[in-house]
């Protein structure tokens, strides 16, 4: 049996192709949901839209300080994995759920497969950096999106069990973007069918936790949108909404250049990404999706663990708050030909992963 430990929206999306491929081949696969994301907008709708089975277990850890959250997941996984007795535990990415899944599997002598292994930002102020590095130390299977991650793991003396397989986000994005075009009405509902707009996602602590920084970023984005003449559609993550409301910024920008909306399901988000003139984000997964869908992207960070998106030409980094600089950068990006090559594979990643794991599941 393959036990897939997941707890957040990106993990549900990126694990879904592997879960579907395992089920297609008749292999036993159980989803263990940690409950790190737990609202309907960040959780239930993704199981529905991605046609996934309900989790075999849900630990329901909810929002807690990181250490307490990891301890709660570890406690729950001890009982769950003792019951399931899987041949392999798999997790994707760099969240607290991933680190807890890796440690639990390691301590219970169950092989651990790290999907999307080897990513590094070299920014230890990001909590995700510690999670992905520590998970990689105990992993038995390292599924790297590109040779960049393979080479990075080699520099860390990790060479066994390393496989370059592509990224499952390509599998998911290519298939579900077509489904979204046929089924999502989000652009019509927001009155954007005939309008130019940018899409913004922002939730990183470095951008939203400090009120002064958040105020500067929002002002910069607002001025950029006004100068370029488009709206910014902003599906607001719950922690970002709290930060905006606590700092008095929600009311200020609710009727400005921003279209502030609740978090979206995957199909609606893909439809907005496909229709946007520009994507602004601090999310790693959205950088990848923008690259795959060939929509120019500005990453609102000083670094990225997805440098291939920058090298390919579809993404640039910007951590400043000067609206004229951001406007010039946005104009430059939107004028680029959308002909860059996706560096994350051919959409067959899930098949490669299951081919490798099949004998041990």
Residues serving a catalytic function are 203
| β-strand partners of 115 | 92, 143
Q: Do residues 90 and 4 lie in contact, with contact meaning Cβ atoms separated by under 8 Å?
A: yes
Six-digit token string for 177:
């973007």
| Run of H or E residues at 315 | strand 315-317
Distances (CA, A) of 167 to 54, 146, 285, 297: 24, 8, 10, 18
Sign of CA dihedral 111, 356, 305, 50: negative
- DSSP type of residue 340: P
Report DSSP state, residue 80. Answer: H
Instruction: Find the helix or strand (DSSP H, E) in which 280 lies.
Output: strand 278-281
Contact 96, 7 (CB under 8 A): yes
Q: Nearest Cα to 13, choosing from 352, 289, 345, 263?
A: 289
DSSP-assigned beta bridge partners for residue 199: 233, 279
DSSP conformation letters of 173-226: HHHHHHHHHHH--HHHHTT-TTS-EEEEE---HHHHTSHHHHHHHHHHHHHHHH
Look at the block and give the residue holding tokens 């192709």: 17
| CA distances for 95 relative to 112, 169, 253, angstroms | 15, 17, 30
Q: Are 103 and 81 in contact (CB under 8 A)?
A: no
Separation of alpha carbons 145 and 21, rounded Å: 18
Distance from C-alpha of 274 to C-alpha of 111, rounded to nearest angstrom: 38
Rounded to 10 deg, the angle between the 9-24 and 168-183 helix axes is 100
Tokens of 75: 């406690």
């Amino acid at each position: 049996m393959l036990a897939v430990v997941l707890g957040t929206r990106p993990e549900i999306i990126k694990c879904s192709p592997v879960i579907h491929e395992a089920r297609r081949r008749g292999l036993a696969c159980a989803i263990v949901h940690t409950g790190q994301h737990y609202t309907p907008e960040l959780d239930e709708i993704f199981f529905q839209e991605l046609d996934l089975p309900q989790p075999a277990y849900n630990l329901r850890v909810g929002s807690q300080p990181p250490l307490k959250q990891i301890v709660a997941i570890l406690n729950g996984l001890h009982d769950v994995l003792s019951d399931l007795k899987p041949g392999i535990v798999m997790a994707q990415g760099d969240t607290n759920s991933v680190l807890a899944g890796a440690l639990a599997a390691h301590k219970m002598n169950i092989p651990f497969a790290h999907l999307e292994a080897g990513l590094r930002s070299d920014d230890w102020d990001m909590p995700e950096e510690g999670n992905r590095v520590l998970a990689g130390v105990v992993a038995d299977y390292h599924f790297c999106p590109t040779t960049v991650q393979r080479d990075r793991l080699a520099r860390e003396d990790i060479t066994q069990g390393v496989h370059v397989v592509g990224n499952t986000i390509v599998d998911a994005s290519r298939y579900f973007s077509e489904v979204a075009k046929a089924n999502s009405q989000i652009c019509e509902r927001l009155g954007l069918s005939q309008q130019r707009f940018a899409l913004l996602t922002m939730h990183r602590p470095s951008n939203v936790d400090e009120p002064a920084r958040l105020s500067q970023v929002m002002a910069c984005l607002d001025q950029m949108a006004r100068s370029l003449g488009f709206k910014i559609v902003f599906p607001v993550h719950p922690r970002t909404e709290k930060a905006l409301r606590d700092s008095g910024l929600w009311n200020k920008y609710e009727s400005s250049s921003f279209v502030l909306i609740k978090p979206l399901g995957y199909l609606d988000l893909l439809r907005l990404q496909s229709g946007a003139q520009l994507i602004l984000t601090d999310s790693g997964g959205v950088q990848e999706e923008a690259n795959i869908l060939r929509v120019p992207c500005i990453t609102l960070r000083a670094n990225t663990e997805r440098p291939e998106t920058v090298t390919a030409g579809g993404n640039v980094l910007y951590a400043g708050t000067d609206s004229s600089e951001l406007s010039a950068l946005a104009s430059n990006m939107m004028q680029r030909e959308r002909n860059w090559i996706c560096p994350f594979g051919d959409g067959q990643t899930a098949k490669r992963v299951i081919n490798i794991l099949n004998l041990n599941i």
